[in-house]
Amino acid sequence: MKIAFYGTKPYDKIWFEPMAKDYGFEIRFIELPCNEETVFLAKGYDAICIFVNDYVNAKMIDQLYEMKVKAILLRSAGFNHVDVKAAEEKIVILRVPSYSPEAVAEFAMSLLLTVNRHTNRAYNRTRDFNMSLNGLMGNDLNHKVAGVVGTGKIGQAMIRILNGFQMQVLAYDPYPVKGLEAEYVSVEELMSKSDVISLHCPLTSDTEHIINRDTIGMMKNGVYLINTSRGALIDTDALIDGLLQKKFAGVGLDVYEEEEGIFYEDRSGEIIEDENLARLVTFPNVLITSHMGFFTTEAMQAIATETLENAYALENGLPMVNRVGVEAVV
Local structure of 256: helix, strand or coil = coil
Q: For residues 229 and 244, what is the distance between their CA atoms, to the nearest angstrom?
A: 24
The yes-or-no answer on residue 291 being catalytic is: yes
- The closest alpha carbon to 93, from 108, 80, 105, belongs to 80
Q: For residues 281 and 27, what is the distance between their CA atoms, to the nearest angstrom?
A: 38
- The closest alpha carbon to 249, from 266, 232, 220, 224, belongs to 224
Give a three-class secondary structure readout of 154-219.
Answer: HHHHHHHHHHHCCCEEEEECCCCCCCCCCEECCHHHHHHHCCEEEECCCCCCCCCCCECHHHHHHC
Cβ atoms of residues 60 and 41 within 8 Å: no
Residue 197: Cβ within 10 Å count:
24
The yes-or-no answer on residue 143 being catalytic is: no
Catalytic site residue from 95, 118, 200, 230: 230
Catalytic site residue from 291, 306, 315, 323: 291
Give Cβ neighbours of residue 122 (< 8 Å, ≥ 6 apart). 136
- Number of helices (H) and strands (E) in the chain: give both, helices first: 11, 12
The yes-or-no answer on residue 230 being catalytic is: yes
Catalytic site residue from 75, 118, 259, 306: 259
Cβ atoms of residues 172 and 190 within 8 Å: yes
- What are the residue numbers of the active site? 230, 259, 291
